[in-house]
Structure 1
Amino acid sequence: MSTIDGRLNDLVKRIQDKSWSPLPDELNVLIDAFLPTHPSDLRSKGYVALSAVCEHYRKGTGSLELTPEALSGTIANTFAQTVTARLGETEETAVLSGLSFLVALFQVEWQAASALLQADGVLESISDALEIFPKSLPVSRSIAQLISQAAGHKECRALIPSQCIEWLEQKSRHSNDSELRAASAVALVKLSRGAEADAAAIPGGDNTPKPATGDDLVQLMKGLIVSAPVASALNDAIEGLAYLSVDPAVKEKLSNDTQLLSRLFAVIPQRKISSYVTNEAEEAVSYPIYGTVTIIANICAFRPRLSEEDRQIAKLKRMAAASKGPKSKAEPEENPMDDDSHVKERCRRLIKAGALDALTSAVKLTESRAARLTIAKALLSMAEEQQNRGKVLQAGGSKALVTIIQGIFAASPSTSKSDNLPSLDKPDIEPIQALAKLCITAAPVQVFGPNEGSLYDAIRPLAVMLIHPASNLLQRFEALMALTNLASHSPETASRVASSEGLLNKAELLMLEDHTLVRRAATELICNLVAGSEEVFNKYGGDKTAGSKGKLHVLLALCDVDDTPTRIAASGALATLTASPAACDFLLELQKEKGRVLPILGQLIDPTIQPKIVEVEDGNEMEEEDNRTLESDPGLVHRGIVCVRNFLAGVDVKPRKELAATAVDIGLATALVQVFRGSANNSESPVARPAAEALKAIMETGVAIS
């Protein structure tokens, strides 16, 4: 055994040489390394060596890299002669060696394994092995595992003969060996789910044999997970249950089985057991992280959030299918067990059973991109309900998400120099969305701890989610809300948010969005940035920056929309900006051009003040009354009074007299008097002093207030 170990070490070293080509003796050692009779450490080293061989061919020679088809063909050809020879023998160990190698190759480079499976005589030899070694458990286990691996790929499913499916069904029900039962059951589940997917992709379906799956297989998997005496049986059972857990009825059963959940979460250790495990495939054998987190993610998965356009398209598809008659293939009906109320309840059950600790521990144990994205998907579902977010934070969910996001960004180069955005797909956005949900409802220190460096590091991913083309409108909305919360933490944080490339431009565009909540969130972000970032303050009118007038005009218009929170945010930004004489000068210009600045500010204080709408028809200006009834709000009153006070105090004496006359004419002065009288006896009122100062500025111009 030590000789094989040493020869594998020598092989790994030799592969580092670009000119390496395999020797027959090296191929024999590598193919034999996966025999189930070998200890796990030796098989682990075999995975390392096999991965190194595949990587050697993947890099090609010199600067010429192989295409995927050429790569799979090259690797398959490298092993084909030796593997087919082993499978064709009548000696058990030789056949077992070929079978176990194929199982390993499927986990490392499945395209090459698929090509090898299609080589002349391979499938026939596998079928013959069932007849030659009918009582050999190792051979039966390896064949079941091989079919299970192959069944996960469409190209291979069509190759599996019907007699193999019948054999799997018999072994899954009647074998006394838990490993064989588990491997056979997993293969049946994969074949069944795969056949459904293949038929759905082909109009009219196909005639491929479809093995039956049902409650008996679910019960088998559950029983094996709870009491499996062998690790490989446990791994297979978890993988099979991961496939089955996409069914809503199965999700409900699993979420209510506390014994199963307890055992399932316990298979993920709190720390890495072996420092030697470096290969993803062998990592899955050591502890089935991906299968476990997939089950959690499936149980907690919400239905996709469809846009209005997507809903209309789905409706049209259903109508079109119905018009073709009962035999047509219609869209499947939505299962009531997958509605939001059922999913939320399942999330609560899993959190109570300890799923959060399992998920956060799993992040520390694996660097697999697929596993980490699945963990993020599960955490996103659990954070959907606000009352769960504190528990997610307590379990270390924010740290886990930050780790996942850092890995994604490290592996995602920028798409171009112009936008500096990482190349992300839609699943890559979900960890950022989950982190955003935590940032929305918790103080930054609760999410990131006392280390402000962690807070600063989170700004870029949130900014990327806001502006990245792969993000949907909901994700942009949640990015806005999270960044708003972070910007309120400190001026330094606000400045870092504001300096994120492309963020301000995107937020300003979303301030004009038709969707009320998105427009509101964008306005609230700009309000916090105006208050916290000197750069944004200057851009919006703090100095004579080009474009400031237009930005102020937008904020003024948002003070006049039919949404109180948006008006509060926009008027809050104006209250901050009007402390600058430059901003007051811009507002004065807008007042002279449209005559709507004071009426809009006045309407914040008193909704009965009606700004006039000026329309141009046939070259003539026509004024109309704005007869909307806007809501009154103490926050609007306070901000409106501060804006008026600052505006009057911030302009020269001559234009101030004109503004004072307008204020009296539209009823703004009267509104200020009423507010002052109503708050004069309340020493803690925040509006009494600014109202008095605004009235004083009017009276100092000589304009009488009735």
Structure 2
Amino acid sequence: MAIIDEADATSTALPSSPNNSPNSFPDELSYLIASFVPTHDPGKRSKAFLVLASYCQGVRASTGQTQDGAQDPGTQALSRIFLPIVQARIAEAQEADVLVGLSFFTALFQVDWSTASDIFQREAVLASITDILDLYSSDLVSREAARLLSQACGHKVCRSSLTAEINQWLELAVRQKRDVPLRAIAAVAITKLSRGSGTDTLVASAGISKQSVDEDLVEIMKGILLEERKDSFLDAVEGLAYMSVEPSVQEDLSKDTSFLKKLLSIIPASRRTSSLPSDAPNHSLIYGILNIIHYLSVYRPPISPDQEQVMKLRRMTKPGSTTSGDSDGKILDALEDDPHVRERGRNLVKNGALNVLATAIRLADSDGIRLIVGRILLNLSVDKEHRGKILQSGGARTLAEIIRKSLSAAKISPGGQSEVDVSILEPTQALAKLAITSSPTQVFGPDPGAVYDAIRPFAILLTHPESSLLQRFEAIMALTNLSSQGVEAAGRVAQADGLLIKIEFLMLEDHVLIRRAATELTCNLVAGSDIVFKRYSDGNPAKSRLHILVALSDVEDLPTRLAASGALASLTSSPDACQSLYELERDHHRVLPILTTLIDPLFGSDEPHTRASPDPGMIHRGVVCIRNLLVNLEPTHRERLKEETDLTSILNLLIAVMGDNTEKAEILQPTAEALKCLMDLGMSIPST
């Protein structure tokens, strides 16, 4: 085993080693076969995994990989190398040799499952495994055999190869109570078997009831954790992670306060307090615990009626289903509804789930750990009651760190653009939820740099081709909050890649909330960014954009009208924008009527209007737009406007506004200035 200390150097050299032939196992790596026995030092076993993985990658690189599955050249080459080794060891008479063969075979499943699966399906290999189960009563051999079967049960091609004798042995191993570690490992294997797609008939033939699996195995695994059987923690957690996909199991686990506290205590709230077994593979254990938390907190994605019907048909066509299948499905559906998930999330938060997430990343940082922590925080942030607690526990900092590392790992496309992986969307959505309901200072702290750093991920969430409509909506809302923090923030939002084009597209979206949010963000950017102000006020393209804002100022949704007319109130301070609006009025004769309806929704209508009474904010925006348009137009255009448009009704409406808002200076001043412009055009105020 001394050579394993050189694993780091060996693994680097493996892919290009001349001895790394697909036809034989290199002599210098023969020590690997015996390196995975569970009694060996965990650190050396970890290095052995690295060397084995590097060797497999080297063989695959030298043979090519044109197809998936057992038929690709890499799998064929590795099977030719490892099949004789595995077969020879597990067929030996000596227990030590058998243990070496089982542990190496199990490691191969973890490193290169397609090769291990190909070997596992061989008739001679299955016969040898069956003989081992019959002939060896040693605890070490039984546990390692169960661990190998647990790995195999995780793959469909292997599940279909299992014999009735193997299934029966696993069931007996679960029922016995003398060897708790063996019981835990066998329970994981049966859990994978019962969850495997298309294996219900096979499971039933082995005498394994799905209902008894759900109830008995969960209790076994919970008991292992509560009884502090640390040598079996990993197996129990892995089994519960598989079982937690079932709504009934989720409900059971979430209501068991003792279990939740014990599970969460395994990941310490700080490095100084930990229940992690000293010799356990901490990364795998932490990942399993996080998976359980994720399943307990995840909401069912919205489904259409057609999808719901398909799910119902699938339940009815499952082997062993009865006429009560529909009612059972309704019960499961009820356990997956939002109120049940919300209650499970509250139980998690109450028992300290938020306090261990940042520690989990520090103890076992990896792409997978960061991804699942981001998903958990997203799930829990759906409930607005949790958002303050997430902030208090440092959740915003955790999400920002997850996002930062994801962005730093982004690949650069041949065109020079950064290709951001879809995995960034969920943690970014979680951060967006926090930024929507809390002030930027509460979320990002007093440093404005942290606020600016959040703009890019929110812009990616908005513009990414894989983002959902909800993610885009929440990205817009978060960006709207950030853009309100000042000119610098608004300017940075406006300069985000592809953002303005996307926002303008979403302003035409049929969905009211999306259209409203996009318009509100545009209003903020028009007021805070010189770039956007110029985009909407200067040149022919601006004329089309102004036309859209005018149209949005006439929709039924009041917040959208407020945002669109607010943008127009800012833009009409520009003579160029007013010139464009004048041209639109001459072409379509709709600009002034729409601006007038901001002041009086019933203006120009012969039928009872469905809108509410005039909104003070709308009145203010209307009079400012009309005032700016009259003041900023060239004199000749004002004269022509008077000739082509009946301004008398606008004059009378402004007079009415003066009388109704005598104590509102912000309305009175622009109204008086608009009236003066009309009087300068020769119009007179009628006497009363």
Alignment of 1:13-28 (within 5 A): 14-15=13-14, 17-21=16-20, 25-28=27-30
**Deviations for 1:275-301, whole angstroms, at most 9, x for unmatched residues?**
xxxxxxx99555512211111111111
Could you tell me which residue of structure 1 aligns to residue 630 of structure 2? 648
Structure 2 residue 225 is matched with structure 1 residue 245: no
Structure 2 residue 371 is matched with structure 1 residue 369: no
Q: Secondary structure at the match of 1:557?
A: helix
How has the CA–CA distance of structure 1 residues 183 and 319 changed in structure 2, closer, same or farther, with 3 Å as cutoff?
closer
Q: Note if contact 2:234-2:280 (Cα within 8 Å) is conserved in structure 1.
A: no
Q: Number of aligned residue pairs: give it.
A: 666
Q: Secondary structure at the match of 1:530?
A: helix
Question: Post-superposition shift, 1:157?
Answer: 0.8
Q: Note if contact 1:439-1:485 (Cα within 8 Å) is conserved in structure 2.
A: yes
Letter in 1 for 2:344: R
1:77 to 75, 80, 104: 80
Q: Secondary structure at the match of 1:214?
A: helix
How has the CA–CA distance of structure 1 residues 513 and 42 changed in structure 2, closer, same or farther, with 3 Å as cutoff?
same
Q: Note if contact 1:300-1:381 (Cα within 8 Å) is conserved in structure 2.
A: yes
How has the CA–CA distance of structure 1 residues 651 and 384 changed in structure 2, closer, same or farther, with 3 Å as cutoff?
same
Could you tell me which residue of structure 2 aligns to residue 485 of structure 1? 481
Q: Secondary structure at the match of 1:680?
A: coil
CA distance in structure 1 between the partners assigned to 2:473 and 2:45 by the alignment: 49
Q: Secondary structure at the match of 2:382?
A: coil
1:705 to 664, 669, 685: 685
Could you tell me which residue of structure 2 aligns to residue 462 of structure 1? 458
Q: Note if contact 2:299-2:341 (Cα within 8 Å) is conserved in structure 1.
A: yes
Letter in 2 for 1:138: L
1:598 to 583, 592, 602: 592
Higher mean C-alpha deviation, range 686-695 or range 162-171: 686-695
Letter in 1 for 2:397: K
**Deviations for 1:456-507, whole angstroms, at most 9, x for unmatched residues?**
3332322222222212222221122122122222222222222222221221
Question: Post-superposition shift, 1:189?
Answer: 0.6
How has the CA–CA distance of structure 1 residues 650 and 476 changed in structure 2, closer, same or farther, with 3 Å as cutoff?
same
Structure 2 residue 107 is matched with structure 1 residue 91: no
CA distance in structure 2 between the partners assigned to 1:424 and 1:288 by the alignment: 26
Could you tell me which residue of structure 1 aligns to residue 666 of structure 2? 686
**Deviations for 1:201-230, whole angstroms, at most 9, x for unmatched residues?**
xxx999875733121111111111122323
How has the CA–CA distance of structure 1 residues 398 and 77 changed in structure 2, closer, same or farther, with 3 Å as cutoff?
farther
Question: Post-superposition shift, 1:437?
Answer: 1.3
Q: Note if contact 2:193-2:203 (Cα within 8 Å) is conserved in structure 1.
A: no
Gaps of 5+ in 1: 274-281, 612-624
Could you tell me which residue of structure 2 aligns to residue 349 of structure 1? 347
Could you tell me which residue of structure 2 aligns to residue 629 of structure 1? 610
2:294 to 289, 297, 306: 297
Question: Post-superposition shift, 1:6?
Answer: 3.7
Structure 2 residue 560 is matched with structure 1 residue 566: yes
How has the CA–CA distance of structure 1 residues 6 and 584 changed in structure 2, closer, same or farther, with 3 Å as cutoff?
closer
Q: Secondary structure at the match of 1:686?
A: helix
Structure 2 residue 499 is matched with structure 1 residue 532: no
CA distance in structure 2 between the partners assigned to 1:558 and 1:673 by the alignment: 26
How has the CA–CA distance of structure 1 residues 207 and 252 changed in structure 2, closer, same or farther, with 3 Å as cutoff?
closer
CA distance in structure 2 between the partners assigned to 1:193 and 1:239 by the alignment: 13
Q: Note if contact 1:80-1:119 (Cα within 8 Å) is conserved in structure 2.
A: no
How has the CA–CA distance of structure 1 residues 468 and 677 changed in structure 2, closer, same or farther, with 3 Å as cutoff?
same
CA distance in structure 1 between the partners assigned to 2:383 and 2:85 by the alignment: 56
Could you tell me which residue of structure 1 aligns to residue 550 of structure 2? 556
How has the CA–CA distance of structure 1 residues 283 and 48 changed in structure 2, closer, same or farther, with 3 Å as cutoff?
farther
Higher mean C-alpha deviation, range 560-569 or range 440-449: 440-449
CA distance in structure 2 between the partners assigned to 1:116 and 1:392 by the alignment: 47
Q: Secondary structure at the match of 1:335?
A: helix
How has the CA–CA distance of structure 1 residues 156 and 454 changed in structure 2, closer, same or farther, with 3 Å as cutoff?
farther
Could you tell me which residue of structure 2 aligns to residue 265 of structure 1? 264
Letter in 2 for 1:491: V
CA distance in structure 2 between the partners assigned to 1:66 and 1:530 by the alignment: 53
CA distance in structure 1 between the partners assigned to 2:239 and 2:168 by the alignment: 18
Could you tell me which residue of structure 2 aligns to residue 422 of structure 1? 419
Could you tell me which residue of structure 1 aligns to residue 506 of structure 2? 510
For the aligned residues, what is the CA RMSD?
Answer: 3.1
CA distance in structure 2 between the partners assigned to 1:75 and 1:451 by the alignment: 54
How has the CA–CA distance of structure 1 residues 210 and 601 changed in structure 2, closer, same or farther, with 3 Å as cutoff?
farther
CA distance in structure 2 between the partners assigned to 1:190 and 1:316 by the alignment: 24
Could you tell me which residue of structure 2 aligns to residue 669 of structure 1? 651
Q: Percent identity?
A: 42
Question: Post-superposition shift, 1:338?
Answer: 1.3
Q: Note if contact 2:159-2:199 (Cα within 8 Å) is conserved in structure 1.
A: no
Structure 2 residue 181 is matched with structure 1 residue 179: yes
Q: Note if contact 2:5-2:44 (Cα within 8 Å) is conserved in structure 1.
A: no
Q: Note if contact 2:15-2:55 (Cα within 8 Å) is conserved in structure 1.
A: no
Q: Note if contact 1:178-1:228 (Cα within 8 Å) is conserved in structure 2.
A: no
CA distance in structure 1 between the partners assigned to 2:223 and 2:602 by the alignment: 71
CA distance in structure 2 between the partners assigned to 1:530 and 1:445 by the alignment: 23
- TM-score by length of structure 2 reads 0.89
Could you tell me which residue of structure 1 aligns to residue 192 of structure 2? 190
Q: Note if contact 1:409-1:422 (Cα within 8 Å) is conserved in structure 2.
A: no
Could you tell me which residue of structure 1 aligns to residue 276 of structure 2? none
**Deviations for 1:308-367, whole angstroms, at most 9, x for unmatched residues?**
xx33454488699999x9889989545212111111111111111111122232233334
Q: Secondary structure at the match of 1:520?
A: helix
Could you tell me which residue of structure 2 aligns to residue 577 of structure 1? 571
**Deviations for 1:377-419, whole angstroms, at most 9, x for unmatched residues?**
221111112221121122222222233334444444356739x
Q: Note if contact 2:494-2:532 (Cα within 8 Å) is conserved in structure 1.
A: yes
Q: Note if contact 1:57-1:66 (Cα within 8 Å) is conserved in structure 2.
A: no
Q: Secondary structure at the match of 1:121?
A: helix
Could you tell me which residue of structure 2 aligns to residue 129 of structure 1? 132
Could you tell me which residue of structure 2 aligns to residue 166 of structure 1? 168
CA distance in structure 2 between the partners assigned to 1:463 and 1:482 by the alignment: 10
How has the CA–CA distance of structure 1 residues 10 and 389 changed in structure 2, closer, same or farther, with 3 Å as cutoff?
closer
CA distance in structure 2 between the partners assigned to 1:680 and 1:661 by the alignment: 31
CA distance in structure 2 between the partners assigned to 1:335 and 1:328 by the alignment: 14
Higher mean C-alpha deviation, range 42-51 or range 209-218: 209-218
CA distance in structure 2 between the partners assigned to 1:513 and 1:298 by the alignment: 34
Letter in 2 for 1:214: D
Q: Note if contact 2:282-2:364 (Cα within 8 Å) is conserved in structure 1.
A: no
Alignment of 1:205-220 (within 5 A): 209=206, 211-212=208-209, 213-220=213-220
2:157 to 155, 158, 162: 155
Could you tell me which residue of structure 2 aligns to residue 277 of structure 1? none
Q: Note if contact 1:321-1:328 (Cα within 8 Å) is conserved in structure 2.
A: no
Letter in 1 for 2:624: V
How has the CA–CA distance of structure 1 residues 187 and 70 changed in structure 2, closer, same or farther, with 3 Å as cutoff?
same
How has the CA–CA distance of structure 1 residues 504 and 24 changed in structure 2, closer, same or farther, with 3 Å as cutoff?
closer
Question: Post-superposition shift, 1:678?
Answer: 3.2
Letter in 2 for 1:381: N
Alignment of 1:24-63 (within 5 A): 25-60=27-62
Question: Post-superposition shift, 1:537?
Answer: 0.6
Question: Post-superposition shift, 1:508?
Answer: 1.0
**Deviations for 1:234-292, whole angstroms, at most 9, x for unmatched residues?**
1110111111112222212211212211121122245779xxxxxxxx99555512211
CA distance in structure 2 between the partners assigned to 1:267 and 1:453 by the alignment: 36
Letter in 1 for 2:14: I
Could you tell me which residue of structure 2 aligns to residue 104 of structure 1? 107
